[in-house]
Chain A
Amino acid sequence: MNIIVVGLSHKSAAVEIREKVAFSPNQIEKPLKELVALEGIIEGVIVSTCNRVEIYATTRDIAGGIARVKRFMADYHHLAMESLENHLYSFHSESAIRHVFRVASSLDSMVIGEPQILGQIKTSYGYAAEYKSSGVILNRFLHKAFSVAKRVRTETKIASSAVSVAFAAVELAKKILGDLSDKTVMLIGAGEMCELAAKHFLNSGAKGVMVTNRTFERAERLADEFGGEAVRFEELFEHLHRADIVLSSTGAPHCIIGPKDVEEVIRRRRFKPVFFIDIAVPRDIDSRVDDVDNAYLFTVDDLQEIVQANLAQRNLEAEKAEEIISQEIGQFFKWLSTLEVTPAIVALRNRFDEIRKGELEKTISGWKDLPPDAEKRLESLTLALMNKLLHAPTKVLKQAGQGGRVDLYVDALRQLFELEALQRDDEELELEE
């Protein structure tokens, strides 16, 4: 049994193509059912996000399975195969396992270390489980992928540093002000980045928000949104000392806060430090403010530098993550291989037992004057014989499972002993687990 992966991502297809192949989450039941109804496809999971559409499946026929899944993707979305083919990639066996482990660990994402992909795969798996398109192998596989992703996240620093300007601002504030839970934020002006940063600060526990704007109504609206307080622009300097964090983004052509203002603010705050972020261009806050003791001024450029440095670091951490994944692949692949072995051993044993019972029956029924305990003795003789004969092949098969030569041995076994096609029963596997 093999795992195959077919799909496309932001790396192989532009958004125009990706959106054509996307599967909608509210209508995932139908494609899942059609997927596992394909010839040769036994289990299936569909993962569809804005950056990738991938199908994970199990099959005995790798080449045929992959081809059929590709065709399924084209046909389901009424697309011509030719237009889609160049954008699709496929993996099987070990490389399929590696790919999915990497994707779940966010190593294949646009921003390495992003947290959404894991949740998205978990949701997709949830649907597959609900509609029963996934079975023992994909269930185990995806659970393993989730635990590998968790390992990567905890054992490497791949997701620990800020890679957006807003997050970088929060991290920097923590380095200066420590715990943010009793700190107040002041928003001067408005703007997407400003508001996003304010949201992040609130999420990180900031106690309160003050909003000021040349247009008081705008300040009020924004203050409502954040559950904070609106301040009239003319009264800015009366309230500025109450803020530990100041985010400024007005359209003013010149600076509105200068070093003397800040010195006064610091004095009024009894020298408690203040963190300024100047997002505006042209700048709102005089750069000499940074020279004031206990005042810390950063611009968006500074924050961008932090983000770049963190991104570079994530790439280094990604190498460690790849190592972890390599370790885990080995383990999982071994498990997958041994799935074939047990039914083979059981089938062989059953065949031997059939023969044994048949011969025993024949011998006993044709024997006159059978001594009283003879039947028992014959039974134990034939059993012992069978077990001893089976001992070596059983051992070798189990070891073959670990070495990866399983398919070869199982096929040979089937042919040599004329066993029926070894249908793997899902229930048997449940018992093994």
Chain B
Amino acid sequence: MTHFFFTLTLVLYCCATAAYLFCLFRTSALLNTWASRLLALGCTAHVLSTIHLATKLKHLPLTNMQESLSFFSMSLMAGFIFFERRYKVTTLGSFVTPAALMMFIASATLHSEARQLPPILQSNWFWVHALLAFISYAAFAIACGVAIMYLIQRRYLKTRHFSGLFLKLPSLETLDDISYRSLSVGFPLLTIAIISGSIWSEKAMGSYWIWDPKQTWSLITWMIYAALLHGRLVIGWRGKRAAILSITGFIVLLITFFGMKHGVSW
């Protein structure tokens, strides 16, 4: 059953990604609609797959890299769908879906043995922390995607390149809007994720903050996004500087997620 949902998700995601990439080269309302539909179907299959897995495991599937990657890609696709409905930015899909698809495929290639849930993870704080962290990652990923699109569009404008992708990318204002919105979602979630993470750390390891690589780098990530949002709200930071900071923040986030280990292992 898991296998069925998984294959279904994979196929639908592949079709949707192909469709979104096609959208870059062809203008067709029909193509846009179908890309959107395929993605919605794929995401639904993914959600069902995750729920199914959760019921099988009797806990949220967030305990190892394989499960995390799958969850990350699912939140990313879902986050994109939300922004696409709101802002009609099909072109963002061409940036987001390939990334999420690769994550999903990577998750599939890893494998984990079925095992009992280790005691260290048997705390509700862990689930809150992990869940919110991943949703915030998805939001930051989208902010990063829009930031890249922003820089590309800005470059086109400055170099007077008025054809091709330029016509498809949304206005700088729209990109800026989406960026602000996704940061406003991601940052609070990250904050709560870090806090709940340290509460879990206390329960599991005896201290709220142990300065392990994961926690340290999470803090660095948090500070970058704090600076970004602060700059935006207080000074009104926009444009090239803000976009670069958003991309930097996401790179640091990826380093935190992939590169850094928790102080303890399970």
Contact = CB atoms under 8 A, between A and B. Distances in A.
B238 A294 contact: yes
A157 B171 CA distance: 20
Nearest to B156: A175
Nearest to A297: B158
Given A270-B235, A293-B240, A177 B173 contact: yes
A273 B236 contact: no
Interface stretch (A24-32, A78-86, A248-256, A301-309): A301-309
A157 B28 CA distance: 11
B11 interface: no
B157 A296 contact: yes
A407 B119 CA distance: 93
B191 interface: no
B237 A273 contact: no
A404 interface: no
A174 interface: yes
8 contacts: A157-B27, A174-B171, A178-B174, A178-B177, A296-B157, A296-B158, A302-B160, A305-B160
9 A-B pairs with least C-beta separation: A270-B236, A178-B173, A178-B171, A294-B239, A271-B238, A271-B236, A293-B239, A293-B240, A176-B172
Interface of A: 157, 174-179, 269-273, 290, 293-294, 296, 302, 305-306, 309
Given A273-B173, A305-B162, A176 B157 contact: yes
Contact of B171 (A175, A290, A309): A175
Nearest to B162: A306
Contacts of B241: 293
Contacts of B177: 178
B157 to A, nearest CB: 6
Nearest to B174: A178
Given A302-B160, A309-B163, A272 B171 contact: no
A157 B168 CA distance: 14
A430 B160 CA distance: 57
Interface of B: 27, 153, 157-158, 160, 162-163, 166, 170-174, 177, 235-241
Contacts of A272: 236, 238
A281 B208 CA distance: 67
A175 B235 contact: no
A332 B236 CA distance: 60
B36 to A, nearest CB: 21
Contacts of A175: 153, 157, 166, 171-172
Nearest to B240: A293
A152 B163 CA distance: 22
A306 B166 CA distance: 12
A178 B170 CA distance: 8
B89 to A, nearest CB: 12
Nearest to B170: A178
A242 B51 CA distance: 52
Nearest to B175: A178
A309 B162 contact: yes
A293 B27 CA distance: 31
Contact of A271 (B163, B166, B170, B239): B239
A362 B58 CA distance: 100
Given A176-B171, A272-B236, 10 more contacts: A175-B171, A177-B171, A178-B172, A269-B236, A270-B235, A271-B237, A271-B238, A273-B239, A293-B241, A305-B162
Contact of B172 (A273, A302, A305): A273
B173 A179 contact: yes
A270 B233 CA distance: 9
Given A176-B172, A309-B163, A273 B238 contact: yes
Contacts of A293: 239-241
Nearest to B173: A178
A174 B163 CA distance: 15
Nearest to A313: B163
A269 B160 CA distance: 25
B156 to A, nearest CB: 9
A246 to B, nearest CB: 16
A305 B161 CA distance: 10
